[in-house]
Amino acid sequence: MKARRWSASSEAADPAPGRLGLPAPVFLAVVLLARISDANSHPDISHAPFVMAAFVLPFWYVSGIGRAVWAHWYAPLLVIQVVLTFAPFALFGADWPGGVTGPLGGLLLLTVRAPLNWVLFVAAGAADLVVRLAVGLPRVNPGIGPIWVIIAYADAGIALYGLVRLGEMAAALHATRSDLVDAAVAHQRLAGAQRLRAAVVDRLDEVVRHAARALGGVVTEPAGVRRHLERAGRIVRDAAAEIRRTLPPGPPDPSGDPVAQRTAVLAPRLARLVLLSTLVMFGVLNVLNVAYPDLDVPVPPPPVVLGTVVVSAAVVLLQWRHSTAMARPRGWPWTLALQAVLTYAFYPVVGAGGMTLVAFLAGSALLLLAPRLRWIGFAAVVLSLPVLVGVAQFGPVPLVTLVVWSGYVGGVTAAWGLVVYGLSRLTGVVAELVEARAELAELTTVREQLRITRDTHDLLGLGLSAIALKTDIAAALLASNPGRARHEIGELLAIAAATRDDARAIPTRSQRHTLAAELRTAGEILRTAGIEVRGRLDPPSLPPEVDSALATVLREAVTNVLRHSTPTRVDLDVMVAGDGAGLTVGNDGACPRSDGHGQGLANLRDRLVALGGTLRWRRGDGLFVLEAAVPLPVPAGSLS
């Protein structure tokens, strides 16, 4: 069995669908907080309602509600999103917060078919840059202003797309588990039908042909009839021996699970592409923030810029190792500590400008720390930059300014920390679901194999034994009593046809056995074998599942009597007492070499245990008694 992905090891192996899409709305929520707060100062919060309006449709889409509306009306909805995103430029100009265009890009990627979605994604990003160049860039260094606009747009759009798509893949895998199970059962039933046909059905067809030929020549061709009966007897005994050896399981389905296989390839690929783009863009932005600081901050010397390049590359590589490992990477406490040191190393030199990669440290905390500590570590990292900057740089400034700026920095850190965690976790969830689907299908296949084997053993044994008995009796009566021989051959034909129908019905569970019918059949077969039958053969009315279970017990018990005992008398008793029903089958010809623990009795015990019942047997003084008890279901409405 393949090892489960470590990043979701503390989560359920088969999570509920409602949890699979959680990272996307959480990501949007913290991005919304960051965009409302904004790094730029604003005279008031008049921009906030417009920012929130630009996030309404993205929130609606990622919620999963009304996807049919999006499927039919995606074009008008995207036009509305374009208006909500770009119209505020007319009101706020350069003060319209950067990055608000990102959700529009994500919706384009999610709702429009490829490759047009990527064309429109690039076009929306270009439009954002053109408009900002026209109205004025955000208040960052002009040397990196255009690059900042592009990265803010692309990162948000691609991250939203990746989180939603991975969530949808996981949800689709979860939702189609029953389809996979049904396919596994259908395949196993087909294989079971093929095995039964080869082992039993085809043989019984031949038995029926021999019996029919024998029936027509009882008087005129006794020698030919005897040959047909002997041939039929050998065939049916071969069939009985075949099912007693337990039918081998069918071959695995060669088609595998194409949905899971395709998703297992696409999900990691998508996650890694989105993650790689996020890491690279943030790494580049971190270097540019240091090389082109705010206008009121002196430009650092080249060694500092070079050091930032080296540190940024190292942090990106560490994060890639943490996010893509199939298990917690060896020495992860040391690599996490190294990532923390490198993240904060240049803060004393370059300040907040070189702290862009702190978001990755937050993501690593969620991925690597123990469940009880991960969110504490995540919160500590998210709050670290506002605390450091607030204490070291702001000094005596209005509290509102500090809170707003902290909301922006904390929101950005939390958003992309969640992106790192969400991409890794959802990839792990997909991997776990692929494995869980395979395990579920395998378990279902094994259960169906065992069910078919058990039913074959339990339900066909008596019929095959009865056919063999009838061939022997008919052959013995040919010379002395041709009329009785003809009658026995007729019953042989009927039993063979019924047993063949039972064999055909086993794979599909369509066989129907009742206790009353089994009691009548048992009485006829036992009397034919010269065994006295005592007891009631008209059972009381029982619930279907109880009646079927006791009918199966009776059939196996009579089969064992014919195969393993030499009785002169069989006692049958069916009783209903209190809240249970019982069946007792006893005979006076118990074989001393038999311990009563054959596969048949084990199968019966499993059947009854599944219904809360019991199966017991005892031996003594030449007697063998089998006792089955099954509780009766409580009638609906009888509980207070």
Q: Give the three-state DSSP class for 481.
A: coil
Output the furthest CA–CA distance in the chain (Å, rounded): 122
- Quick check: is 544 in a domain? yes
Tokens (6 digits) for 254? 């060669």
Q: What is the CATH number of the domain that holds 621?
A: 3.30.565.10
pLDDT of the residue at 104: 95
Binning pLDDT at 50, 70 and 90, where does residue 239 land? confident
Percent pLDDT > 90 in the chain is 13
- Quick check: is 358 in a domain? no
Q: What is the mean pLDDT of the chain?
A: 78
pLDDT in tens, 280-335: 888 888 888 888 776 666 777 888 889 889 998 999 999 988 888 766 788 889 99
**Which domain, by its residues, includes 572?**
535-640
- Quick check: is 129 in a domain? no
pLDDT of the residue at 617: 87
pLDDT of the residue at 230: 86
pLDDT in tens, 340-355: 999 888 788 777 777 8
**H/E stretch holding 400:** helix 399-477
Binning pLDDT at 50, 70 and 90, where does residue 3 land? very low
pLDDT of the residue at 20: 45
pTM, whole model, 2 decimals?
0.60
Give yes or no for residue 254 having a pLDDT over 70.
no
Binning pLDDT at 50, 70 and 90, where does residue 86 land? very high
Rounded to whole angstroms, the Cα distance separating 152 from 12 reads: 34
Q: What are the φ and ψ backbone dihedral angles of 552, each rounded to 5 degrees?
A: -65, -40
Count of domains in the chain? 1
Binning pLDDT at 50, 70 and 90, where does residue 53 land? very high
Instruction: Return the minimum-mean-pLDDT range out of 213-222, 241-250, 288-297.
Output: 241-250
Percent pLDDT > 70 in the chain is 75
Instruction: Return the minimum-mean-pLDDT range out of 66-80, 204-218, 256-270, 533-547.
Output: 256-270
Give yes or no for residue 361 having a pLDDT over 50.
yes
Rounded to whole angstroms, the Cα distance separating 264 from 432 reads: 10
Give yes or no for residue 265 having a pLDDT over 80.
no
pLDDT of the residue at 511: 58
Tokens (6 digits) for 371? 């469940």
Chain centroid offset of residue 53 CA:
37
Q: Give the three-state DSSP class for 257.
A: coil
- Quick check: is 585 in a domain? yes
Within a 10 A sphere around the Cβ of 580, how many other Cβ atoms? 15
pLDDT of the residue at 392: 57
pLDDT in tens, 181-217: 666 666 666 666 667 777 777 887 888 788 777 777 7
- Quick check: is 488 in a domain? no
What does the angle CA 424 – CA 428 – CA 433 come to, to the nearest 5 degrees?
150
- Quick check: is 579 in a domain? yes
Strand 623-631's sheet: what is its strand order?
532-535, 569-577, 580-587, 623-631, 614-620
pLDDT of the residue at 137: 77
- Quick check: is 556 in a domain? yes
* Highest mean pLDDT of the ranges 39-48, 199-208, 538-547: 538-547
- Quick check: is 627 in a domain? yes
Q: Which of 56, 60, 161, 150 is nearest to 108 (CA)?
A: 161
The pairing of beta strand 614-620 with beta strand 623-631: antiparallel
pLDDT in tens, 98-125: 888 999 999 999 999 989 999 999 999 9
Give yes or no for residue 488 having a pLDDT over 60.
yes
Give yes or no for residue 391 having a pLDDT over 70.
no
Give yes or no for residue 6 having a pLDDT over 60.
no
Question: Residues 7, 424: contact at Cβ < 8 Å?
Answer: yes
